[in-house]
Amino acid sequence: MSEEQTVSLVDVLEEDEELEEEASAVLAGSDSDHCSYPQGYVKRQALYACNTCTPQGGEAAGVCLACSYTCHEGHDLFELYTKRNFRCDCGNRKFSELQCKLHPEKDDANTLNKYSHNFFGLYCTCRRPYPDPDDQVEDEMIQCVVCEDWLHGRHLGCAVPDCVEMQEMICESCMNQHVFLWAYAAHLAVQGPTLQTKEEKGEQSEAGVPKKEEKGEEIVEPSCKRSRQEAEPSCRLKALQEAGQKTDQSGAVFWPSGWRSRLCSCSTCQVQLADAGLSFLLDEADTVLAYENKGKNNEQRQQGHDPLMSALDNLNRVQQLEIIHGYNDMKTELKDFLQTFAAEGKVRFTVPNGEGRGYKHSVI
């Protein structure tokens, strides 16, 4: 068994607000009261898999946030973070002994849903659970934007760049399955530490010398910045492929913010992306960041209807100030009290080395 992680109560108090915001970003983007099945294949939503109802060895199935609360309360659930274009399975023929309490009228199966070993609590190319009781190595897990599997940083085949939360990753398997993405990677991908070191020394890297890269960047300029005569017939992908700029075609690839807007959207490329099942790459609203921002906005709107604030509205100004000041004084005194004991190493408690029924962020 892995050792328990020990943290101070002060640490918990300081991190509570940040954790609540992250949880809201993931969960507030989904409906916690109504089954999402009537919405069809939802563009992106928080999902769970029930190990109690659909254990490994059977058919994979996923349930929406509301069903995880209402229909699978107390069950052994795997948190899948978010998945795209998925329709809730709760209560369909894959659940032989359970009927959905929120929306029992469902088709036998959702044929367009995509499943993976994630639905049985296994992740990465190593196909291990998370958290893994047999793995003592501290490592972050990052989600591929194509297959949506979670991979350990050490199993990506490349160095993990800084500020990874603001970037998207495509795993090596997906890159090799859709080889045309390597042409984009040579010009648009985040450069790894090895490449940066060579360029700092003024040496020619595998992706070419800096001057050649600058020339490549000119090729991928948005069509609105080129002349009207060039814009219509040109294919950005074809121009990149003809440029011949090479990159090491191995390992996962990290992409900077806004990279999707620089993909070619000519009719030929749209067909190619559709045939490969990658049309979502042209949609900025498909990103996890867009989904999380939606969740944060929903949470902010709901805060305007906070029951506590409604109760305060019914009090006079003097009563309101007394309650607010009393709350702030209590919070300050509690924090000072805990900091005093924490400094002496006396106030501590343990948190099991696992995760609760909350959320997974893109970096775990």
**pLDDT score recorded for residue 50:** 98
Q: Looking at the predicted structure, is the pLDDT value of residue 353 above 90?
A: no
Q: Record the tokens describing residue 173, joined without a space.
A: 């398997």
Final residue in a domain of this structure, among 120, 148, 182: 120
How many domains does the structure of the chain reveal?
2
Which pTM value belongs to this model? 0.70
Distances in whole angstroms, Cα of residue 292 to Cα of each of 84, 279, 281: 13, 21, 17
Is 233 a domain residue?
A: no
CB count in 10 Å sphere of residue 143: 24
Domain of 331, in residue numbers: 304-339
Is 56 a domain residue?
A: yes
Look over the chain and give the mean of its residue pLDDT values, rounded to a whole number.
79
Is 97 a domain residue?
A: yes
**How much of the chain, in percent, has pLDDT values that exceed 90?**
53
d(CA 168, CA 220): 19
The residues, any chain, with a CB within 8 Å of residue 292's CB and separated by 6 or more, are: 25, 26, 29
Residues 51-88: pLDDT tens digits? Answer: 999 999 999 999 999 999 999 999 999 999 999 999 99
Is 45 a domain residue?
A: yes
Final residue in a domain of this structure, among 65, 91, 120: 120
Is 190 a domain residue?
A: no
